[in-house]
Amino acid sequence: MLDPFVMAQLRMPAAFLAQLQAALVPGTSVLVTSAPVLPQHNNGGRRLTVLAASGD
């Protein structure tokens, strides 16, 4: 369940939000965290897939 207080605190770039909203379908889970994906390493700006799933 979405907590309106928590939702009011979220900030993200408009372009990212638009892409996220376009990808959301019923049953989609979204994890929001302030923790870095790579806490000890820099990936040099390369694209990084954190989690992927297929419809198969």
User: In sequence order, which residues have a C-beta less than 8 Å from that of residue 32 and are 6 or more positions away?
Assistant: 10
DSSP string, 3-41: -HHHHHH----HHHHHHHHHH--TT------SS-SSTT-
Q: What is the pLDDT of residues 2-55, one digit of tens each?
A: 678 877 888 888 888 888 888 888 888 887 777 776 666 666 667 777 777 776
Rounded-to-integer distance, Cα 20 and Cα 30, Å: 9
Give the pLDDT of residue 17.
Answer: 83
Task: Say which residue the tokens 């954190």 belong to.
Answer: 50
